Amino acid sequence: MRVPEETRTVVLTDSEPLKVVLLGCGVVGSQVARLLLSKGDDFTARIGRRLELVGIGVRRPELERPGIDPALVTSDVMALATRPDVDLVIEVMGGIEPARSLILAAIAHKASVITANKQLLAQDGATLYAAAEAAGVDLYYEAAVAGAIPIVRPLRESLVGDEVTAVMGIVNGTTNFILDKMHTQGWSFDVALAEAQRLGFAEPDPTADVEGFDAAAKAAILASLAFHTRVKLDDVVREGITRVSASDVATASQMGFVIKLLARASLAEDGSIAVGVHPTMVPTNHPLANVSGAFNAVFIESRNAGQLMFMGPGAGGSPTASAVLGDVVTAARNRVRGVAGPGESSYSARPIASSGAVASKFYASLLVDDEPGVLAKIADCFARHRVSIQAVRQDAEPTEDGQQARLAILTHTAQASDMAGAVAELRTMNVVRGDVGLMRVEGV
């Protein structure tokens, strides 16, 4: 195939600037504005054309914004998004509406869009993609997953010649901070959460973080990219960290594990994909185990590249602005050349496995009567539910009325529904005392 010469665009640095609109001027937006206004020469050199920030849409235009010309600021966000002369619209407001309407309007007006909006992409990415494709414009969103870590572009482009089999990520800094404190300080979940709130790492209403909603949105986006399949927020099995106890953490530590909230998407042998967010035990020598504090990391397994890991700051104004501006430069370059970058790749259209069909290794912890034959009964229960045991550890614990034993059981890979069946039966057994602890295990 020969490319006709006349479609190539000559880049001229001295021609008309590319006009940029910024929607949202909070923690991320203000950093984006600052960099657009202060680093103009670098952007010009890297794009081959000048960028001109022509408007900033905000809810409260009356607020003081140091370094930003008040003439740029307006609350009429829809007028900004639909300016006919605008080339690039950056959306960093978050939330579903009005972000969704603004992005669709901007696309309809032939602007390329750069967004950091994970909720919107996870709920309705397909609509945005379809609109961008119909308009022949770009939709970039590196900042929507794992902050400054380049992960969207590697999945969309670097690994596009490979077959990804699993993606596992620590993609929520708040829960990572909380679990970290539970491990290193021995704190309870409540104490660690209170400290995260005091430091501003957790919201006054921490639900989106601690119940795994934020991580689930990112899991949906990562899974869509990794498996060339549309995955929506509703497809993600979600479990937060509110029920992780100090004793779970202590037991995990004793066994050489740390508990991390992992967003995980994997390809099963039957070609279906499983997407979930779960507190997960990871061995301390696994690369993900050492990702601490507010850092994020994404671990990828693929057929040819093998195991890759990407690590970096998962949030914050400057890191997120870095990801946004990388996309701005790319979209601007495309604009100068008169092309759009890669669109949605959903050709695989793989089925999403039901939550019960999702397989992983599990760790079960239970207190039992300390008498001969108990382990055999427990093992038989697992076997009847098709769960194979990889390792068992039994420790005697003195009690008021004699002795009991704590069983720590690591299973081979089992289906979640089988595991749930085994645990349900264990809970009815006379020899089992109290509740049965259950957690997923990765990396062993």
Complex with its own copies: residue 94 or 316, whichever CB lies closer: 316
Give the residue, chosen from 266, 302, 404, 411, that forms a contact with its own copies under the rule CB under 8 A: 302
From candidates 248, 327, 344, 370, binder to its own copies by CB under 8 A:
327
116 binds its own copies (CB under 8 A): no
On the 0-12 / 13-18 / 19+ scale of CB atoms within 10 A, 441 is: buried
Least Cα distance to 21 among 101, 84, 108 occurs for 84
Separation between Cα atoms, residue 361 and residue 375, nearest integer Å: 20
Minimum distance from residue 280 beta carbon to its own copies (Å): 20
Q: Select from 183, 228, 232, 238 the one that contacts its own copies (CB under 8 A).
A: 228
**Cβ proximity of 299 and 137 under 8 Å:** no
Q: Rule CB under 8 A: is residue 1 a binding residue for its own copies?
A: yes
Strand partners, 432: 368
Nearer to its own copies, 67 or 161 (CB): 161
Among positions 130, 191, 305, 392, the unique one binding its own copies when judged by CB under 8 A: 305
Is 181 a residue of the active site?
no
- Are the C-beta atoms of 419 and 362 separated by less than 8 Å? yes
Q: Are 265 and 226 in contact (CB under 8 A)?
A: yes
CB of 19 to its own copies, least distance (A): 7
Helix (H, G, I), strand (E, B) or coil at 177: helix
Q: What is the dihedral of CA 414, 415, 417, 421, to 10 degrees?
A: -20
Q: Point out which span in 63-71, 249-257, 344-352, 422-430 binds its own copies (CB under 8 A).
A: 344-352
Contact assessment for residue 141 and residue 317, using Cβ atoms and an 8 Å cutoff: no
**Rounded distance, CA 443 to CA 398, Å?**
33
Q: Which is nearer to its own copies, 34 or 377 (CB)?
A: 34
17 binds its own copies (CB under 8 A): yes
User: Does 287 sit behind a cis peptide bond, omega within 30 degrees of 0 on the bond before it?
Assistant: no
Q: Hey, CA dihedral for 205, 211, 212, 217, is it positive or negative?
A: negative
Q: How far is the CB of 259 from its own copies (least distance, A)?
A: 20
- 63, 79, 110, 388: which one contacts its own copies (CB under 8 A)? 110
> Residue 262, SS3?
strand
Residues 120-179 that bind its own copies (CB under 8 A): 136, 142, 148-150, 153-154, 157-163
C-alpha to C-alpha distance for 55 and 71, rounded to whole angstroms? 8
| Positions 74 through 93 that interact with its own copies (CB under 8 A) | 85, 87
Give residue 226's identity as a one-letter amino acid code.
A
Considering the rule CB under 8 A, would residue 19 count as an interface residue with its own copies?
Answer: yes
Residue 305 or residue 392: which is nearer to its own copies going by CB?
305
Restricted to residues 26-45, the positions that interact with its own copies (CB under 8 A) are: 31, 35, 39, 42-43, 45
Closest CA to 229 of 164, 173, 288: 164
Taking CB under 8 A as the binding criterion, the range among 175-183, 192-200, 259-267, 319-327 that sits at the site for its own copies is 319-327
Catalytic residue, chosen from 181, 218, 232, 361, is: 218
Number of residues this chain uses to bind its own copies (CB under 8 A): 77
Does 287 help bind its own copies (rule: CB under 8 A)? Answer: yes
Comparing CB distances to its own copies, the nearer of 70 and 136 is 136
Q: Give me 262's structure tokens.
A: 């992992």
To its own copies, the closest distance from the beta carbon of 434 in angstroms equals: 38
Q: Which residues pair with 170 in a beta bridge?
A: 297
C-alpha 233/C-alpha 221 separation (Å) is 9
In the complex, minimum distance from the CB of residue 60 to its own copies, in angstroms, rounded to a whole number: 25
Cβ distance 239 to 355 under 8 Å?
A: no
Least Å from the CB of residue 177 to its own copies = 16
- Part of the chain binding its own copies (CB under 8 A), chosen from 13-21, 68-76, 237-245, 362-370: 13-21
Q: How far is the CB of 320 from its own copies (least distance, A)?
A: 9
The verdict on 322 binding its own copies (CB under 8 A) reads yes
| Nearest approach, Cβ of residue 207 and its own copies (Å) | 27
Note whether 109 binds its own copies by CB under 8 A: no
Check binding of 354 to its own copies (CB under 8 A).
Answer: no
Strand pairing class (112-115; 139-140):
parallel
Give the number of other CB atoms < 10 A from CB of residue 36. 21
DSSP state of 293: T
Any bridge partners for residue 277, and if so which? Answer: 238, 263
Question: Residue 38 region, left (φ>0) first, then alpha (ψ -120 to 50), else beta?
Answer: alpha
66 binds its own copies, rule: CB under 8 A: no
Question: Which 180-219 positions form the footprint of its own copies (CB under 8 A)?
Answer: none
49 interacts with its own copies by CB under 8 A:
yes
Q: State the catalytic residues.
A: 218
